[in-house]
Chain A
Amino acid sequence: AQSVTQLGSHVSVSEGALVLLRCNYSSSVPPYLFWYVQYPNQGLQLLLKYTSAATLVKGINGFEAEFKKSETSFHLTKPSAHMRDAAEYFCAVSGLGRGGADGLTFGKGTHLIIQP
Protein backbone atom coordinates (compact mmCIF):
# COMPACT_ATOMS: atom_id res chain seq x y z
CA ALA A 1 0.00 0.00 0.00
CA GLN A 2 1.13 3.53 -0.58
CA SER A 3 0.28 6.93 0.82
CA VAL A 4 1.21 10.56 0.32
CA THR A 5 1.42 13.38 2.83
CA GLN A 6 1.56 16.98 1.70
CA LEU A 7 2.62 19.35 4.44
CA GLY A 8 0.62 22.55 4.43
CA SER A 9 -2.81 22.80 2.85
CA HIS A 10 -2.03 26.43 1.95
CA VAL A 11 1.30 28.02 1.08
CA SER A 12 1.66 31.74 0.42
CA VAL A 13 4.72 33.29 -1.21
CA SER A 14 5.52 36.65 -2.74
CA GLU A 15 5.90 37.01 -6.46
CA GLY A 16 9.55 36.35 -7.33
CA ALA A 17 10.20 34.34 -4.18
CA LEU A 18 11.15 30.68 -3.92
CA VAL A 19 8.32 28.17 -4.02
CA LEU A 20 8.67 25.02 -1.89
CA LEU A 21 5.84 22.51 -1.65
CA ARG A 22 6.50 19.49 0.52
CA CYS A 23 5.58 15.89 -0.20
CA ASN A 24 6.43 12.73 1.71
CA TYR A 25 5.44 9.30 0.53
CA SER A 26 5.11 5.79 1.81
CA SER A 27 5.41 2.84 -0.51
CA SER A 28 6.23 -0.84 -0.06
CA VAL A 29 7.81 -0.98 -3.51
CA PRO A 30 10.05 1.42 -5.43
CA PRO A 31 7.70 4.26 -6.23
CA TYR A 32 6.91 6.35 -9.22
CA LEU A 33 6.16 9.88 -8.03
CA PHE A 34 4.27 12.71 -9.66
CA TRP A 35 3.33 16.32 -9.20
CA TYR A 36 0.12 17.56 -10.80
CA VAL A 37 -1.29 21.07 -10.95
CA GLN A 38 -4.97 21.96 -11.00
CA TYR A 39 -6.19 25.39 -12.02
CA PRO A 40 -9.72 26.47 -11.02
CA ASN A 41 -12.44 24.45 -12.73
CA GLN A 42 -9.87 22.47 -14.67
CA GLY A 43 -8.57 18.93 -14.69
CA LEU A 44 -5.16 17.88 -13.44
CA GLN A 45 -2.09 18.59 -15.54
CA LEU A 46 1.17 16.74 -15.06
CA LEU A 47 4.03 18.97 -13.92
CA LEU A 48 6.72 16.34 -13.61
CA LYS A 49 7.34 12.70 -12.76
CA TYR A 50 10.04 10.55 -11.17
CA THR A 51 10.42 7.10 -12.69
CA SER A 52 13.66 5.80 -11.11
CA ALA A 53 15.99 7.62 -13.45
CA ALA A 54 17.61 10.90 -12.36
CA THR A 55 16.71 11.92 -8.82
CA LEU A 56 16.38 15.60 -9.80
CA VAL A 57 13.47 15.94 -12.15
CA LYS A 58 12.69 19.02 -14.19
CA GLY A 59 9.16 19.74 -15.27
CA ILE A 60 7.10 22.33 -17.03
CA ASN A 61 6.72 26.00 -16.05
CA GLY A 62 10.12 26.07 -14.32
CA PHE A 63 9.27 23.56 -11.60
CA GLU A 64 11.56 20.79 -10.43
CA ALA A 65 11.53 18.14 -7.72
CA GLU A 66 14.13 15.99 -6.04
CA PHE A 67 13.58 12.39 -5.04
CA LYS A 68 15.25 11.59 -1.72
CA LYS A 69 14.84 7.97 -0.80
CA SER A 70 16.43 8.35 2.64
CA GLU A 71 13.87 11.01 3.53
CA THR A 72 11.00 9.46 1.52
CA SER A 73 10.43 12.91 0.11
CA PHE A 74 9.66 14.45 -3.27
CA HIS A 75 9.46 18.19 -2.66
CA LEU A 76 8.50 20.56 -5.46
CA THR A 77 10.41 23.80 -5.99
CA LYS A 78 10.52 26.78 -8.27
CA PRO A 79 13.17 29.50 -7.90
CA SER A 80 10.91 32.45 -8.66
CA ALA A 81 7.14 32.44 -8.26
CA HIS A 82 4.87 34.03 -10.83
CA MET A 83 1.26 35.08 -10.42
CA ARG A 84 0.19 32.42 -12.90
CA ASP A 85 1.54 29.72 -10.56
CA ALA A 86 -1.40 30.23 -8.20
CA ALA A 87 -3.21 26.89 -8.25
CA GLU A 88 -3.72 23.64 -6.37
CA TYR A 89 -0.79 21.22 -6.43
CA PHE A 90 -1.05 17.50 -5.87
CA CYS A 91 1.67 15.00 -5.15
CA ALA A 92 0.91 11.40 -6.15
CA VAL A 93 2.51 7.98 -5.92
CA SER A 94 2.10 4.82 -7.93
CA GLY A 95 2.93 1.66 -6.04
CA LEU A 96 3.76 -0.75 -8.83
CA GLY A 97 6.25 1.46 -10.56
CA ARG A 98 3.93 2.10 -13.46
CA GLY A 99 1.71 5.11 -13.14
CA GLY A 100 -0.98 3.67 -15.29
CA ALA A 101 -1.00 0.16 -13.90
CA ASP A 102 -2.78 0.57 -10.62
CA GLY A 103 -3.89 4.13 -10.41
CA LEU A 104 -2.41 6.97 -8.45
CA THR A 105 -2.70 7.69 -4.75
CA PHE A 106 -2.92 11.44 -4.24
CA GLY A 107 -2.05 13.72 -1.39
CA LYS A 108 -4.66 16.16 -0.09
CA GLY A 109 -3.24 18.98 -2.15
CA THR A 110 -1.54 22.30 -1.42
CA HIS A 111 -3.12 25.55 -2.44
CA LEU A 112 -0.39 27.91 -3.62
CA ILE A 113 -1.12 31.61 -3.15
CA ILE A 114 1.07 34.21 -4.82
CA GLN A 115 1.20 37.62 -3.18
CA PRO A 116 1.90 40.56 -5.50
Chain B
Amino acid sequence: DAGVIQSPRHEVTEMGQEVTLRCKPISGHDYLFWYRQTMMRGLELLIYFNNNVPIDDSGMPEDRFSAKMPNASFSTLKIQPSEPRDSAVYFCASSPDTAEAFFGQGTRLTVV
Protein backbone atom coordinates (compact mmCIF):
# COMPACT_ATOMS: atom_id res chain seq x y z
CA ASP B 1 0.00 0.00 0.00
CA ALA B 2 1.31 3.45 -0.88
CA GLY B 3 0.13 4.95 2.39
CA VAL B 4 -1.70 8.23 2.77
CA ILE B 5 -0.94 10.47 -0.17
CA GLN B 6 -1.09 14.24 0.07
CA SER B 7 -0.66 16.82 -2.63
CA PRO B 8 0.94 19.17 -3.18
CA ARG B 9 3.95 18.72 -0.86
CA HIS B 10 4.64 22.43 -0.93
CA GLU B 11 2.37 25.35 -1.74
CA VAL B 12 3.25 29.02 -1.84
CA THR B 13 0.41 31.42 -2.44
CA GLU B 14 -0.42 35.07 -2.05
CA MET B 15 -2.69 36.37 0.64
CA GLY B 16 -6.30 36.35 -0.48
CA GLN B 17 -5.94 33.44 -2.86
CA GLU B 18 -7.81 30.17 -2.57
CA VAL B 19 -5.79 27.14 -1.56
CA THR B 20 -6.85 23.51 -1.93
CA LEU B 21 -5.02 20.67 -0.25
CA ARG B 22 -5.70 17.10 -1.29
CA CYS B 23 -5.56 13.74 0.41
CA LYS B 24 -5.96 10.14 -0.65
CA PRO B 25 -6.39 7.88 2.41
CA ILE B 26 -5.35 4.27 2.67
CA SER B 27 -7.90 2.04 1.00
CA GLY B 28 -10.33 0.49 3.45
CA HIS B 29 -9.78 3.02 6.22
CA ASP B 30 -13.05 4.36 7.59
CA TYR B 31 -11.67 7.47 9.28
CA LEU B 32 -9.90 10.47 7.81
CA PHE B 33 -8.36 13.31 9.80
CA TRP B 34 -6.93 16.72 8.94
CA TYR B 35 -4.31 18.15 11.29
CA ARG B 36 -2.37 21.40 11.25
CA GLN B 37 1.14 21.73 12.66
CA THR B 38 2.69 25.05 13.65
CA MET B 39 5.58 25.97 15.90
CA MET B 40 3.33 27.92 18.23
CA ARG B 41 0.40 25.53 18.57
CA GLY B 42 1.88 22.16 17.72
CA LEU B 43 -0.40 19.55 16.13
CA GLU B 44 -4.07 20.44 16.09
CA LEU B 45 -6.97 18.34 14.87
CA LEU B 46 -9.02 20.38 12.43
CA ILE B 47 -11.73 17.98 11.33
CA TYR B 48 -12.37 14.28 10.91
CA PHE B 49 -14.65 12.12 8.79
CA ASN B 50 -16.15 8.69 9.34
CA ASN B 51 -17.31 6.89 6.21
CA ASN B 52 -17.07 10.18 4.29
CA VAL B 53 -19.29 12.06 6.75
CA PRO B 54 -17.82 14.96 8.76
CA ILE B 55 -18.10 14.07 12.44
CA ASP B 56 -16.33 16.84 14.28
CA ASP B 57 -15.19 20.12 12.75
CA SER B 58 -14.79 22.00 16.00
CA GLY B 59 -11.09 22.41 15.32
CA MET B 60 -11.59 24.32 12.09
CA PRO B 61 -10.29 27.77 12.95
CA GLU B 62 -12.59 29.94 10.86
CA ASP B 63 -15.25 29.89 8.19
CA ARG B 64 -12.48 30.44 5.68
CA PHE B 65 -11.62 26.77 6.16
CA SER B 66 -13.73 24.01 4.66
CA ALA B 67 -13.22 20.29 4.11
CA LYS B 68 -14.99 17.76 1.97
CA MET B 69 -14.84 14.04 1.39
CA PRO B 70 -16.84 13.26 -1.75
CA ASN B 71 -15.85 9.60 -1.70
CA ALA B 72 -13.88 7.10 0.31
CA SER B 73 -10.66 7.73 -1.59
CA PHE B 74 -10.43 11.51 -1.67
CA SER B 75 -10.65 14.51 0.61
CA THR B 76 -9.88 18.20 0.27
CA LEU B 77 -9.15 21.00 2.69
CA LYS B 78 -9.82 24.43 1.27
CA ILE B 79 -8.85 27.84 2.57
CA GLN B 80 -10.54 30.82 1.00
CA PRO B 81 -9.28 33.48 1.28
CA SER B 82 -5.87 32.52 2.61
CA GLU B 83 -3.97 34.64 5.13
CA PRO B 84 -0.32 34.63 6.24
CA ARG B 85 -1.29 33.15 9.62
CA ASP B 86 -2.53 30.05 7.79
CA SER B 87 1.07 29.17 6.98
CA ALA B 88 1.69 25.74 8.48
CA VAL B 89 2.17 22.09 7.64
CA TYR B 90 -1.15 20.35 7.05
CA PHE B 91 -1.33 16.61 7.61
CA CYS B 92 -3.93 14.15 6.52
CA ALA B 93 -4.23 10.84 8.38
CA SER B 94 -6.45 7.82 8.01
CA SER B 95 -7.42 5.02 10.37
CA PRO B 96 -9.03 1.61 9.98
CA ASP B 97 -11.05 2.05 13.16
CA THR B 98 -8.30 0.59 15.29
CA ALA B 99 -6.05 2.35 17.73
CA GLU B 100 -3.66 3.85 15.20
CA ALA B 101 -3.60 6.71 12.71
CA PHE B 102 -1.47 6.65 9.56
CA PHE B 103 -0.14 10.01 8.46
CA GLY B 104 0.71 11.41 5.08
CA GLN B 105 3.88 13.37 4.36
CA GLY B 106 2.11 16.67 4.83
CA THR B 107 1.66 19.82 2.76
CA ARG B 108 3.78 22.79 3.72
CA LEU B 109 1.70 25.90 3.04
CA THR B 110 3.26 29.34 2.89
CA VAL B 111 1.00 32.35 2.45
CA VAL B 112 2.86 35.55 1.57
- Residues of chain A touching chain B, judged by Cβ–Cβ distance below 8 Å, are 32, 34, 36, 42-46, 49, 51, 90, 94, 97-109
Q: Give the residues in chain B near A100, CB-CB below 8 Å.
A: 29-31, 95-101
- Do the beta carbons of B91 and A44 come within 8 Å of each other? yes
**B70 at interface (Cβ–Cβ under 8 A)?**
no
Q: Give the residues in chain A near B105, CB-CB below 8 Å.
A: 42-43
| Alpha-carbon gap, A46 to B45, bound state (A) | 17
Task: Offer 8 A-B interface pairs, CB within 8 angstroms, sorted by A.
Answer: A34-B99, A42-B105, A43-B104, A45-B103, A100-B96, A103-B48, A104-B45, A108-B42
With A43-B104, A103-B33 known as contacts, the answer to whether A51 contacts B42 (CB < 8 A) is no
Can you name the residue of chain A whose Cβ is closest to the Cβ of B48?
A103
Q: Classify chain B: how many residues form its interface, as a range.
A: 20 to 34
With A43-B106, A100-B31 known as contacts, the answer to whether A49 contacts B100 (CB < 8 A) is yes
**B56 at interface (Cβ–Cβ under 8 A)?**
yes
- Do the beta carbons of A102 and B99 come within 8 Å of each other? no
**B43 at interface (Cβ–Cβ under 8 A)?**
yes
- Do the beta carbons of B100 and A34 come within 8 Å of each other? yes
| Alpha-carbon gap, A45 to B104, bound state (A) | 9
Q: Give the residues in chain B near A34, CB-CB below 8 Å.
A: 99-100
Q: Give the residues in chain B near A94, CB-CB below 8 Å.
A: 99
Q: Give the residues in chain B near A108, CB-CB below 8 Å.
A: 42
3 residue pairs, one from A and one from B, having the closest CB atoms = A100-B95, A99-B99, A43-B103
Can you name the residue of chain B whose Cβ is closest to the Cβ of A42?
B105
Distance to closest chain A CB from B89 (angstroms): 9
- Do the beta carbons of A99 and B42 come within 8 Å of each other? no
Q: Give the residues in chain A near B93, CB-CB below 8 Å.
A: 44
| Alpha-carbon gap, A98 to B106, bound state (A) | 23
Q: Give the residues in chain A near B48, CB-CB below 8 Å.
A: 102-103
Can you name the residue of chain A whose Cβ is closest to the Cβ of B45?
A103
- Do the beta carbons of B43 and A90 come within 8 Å of each other? yes
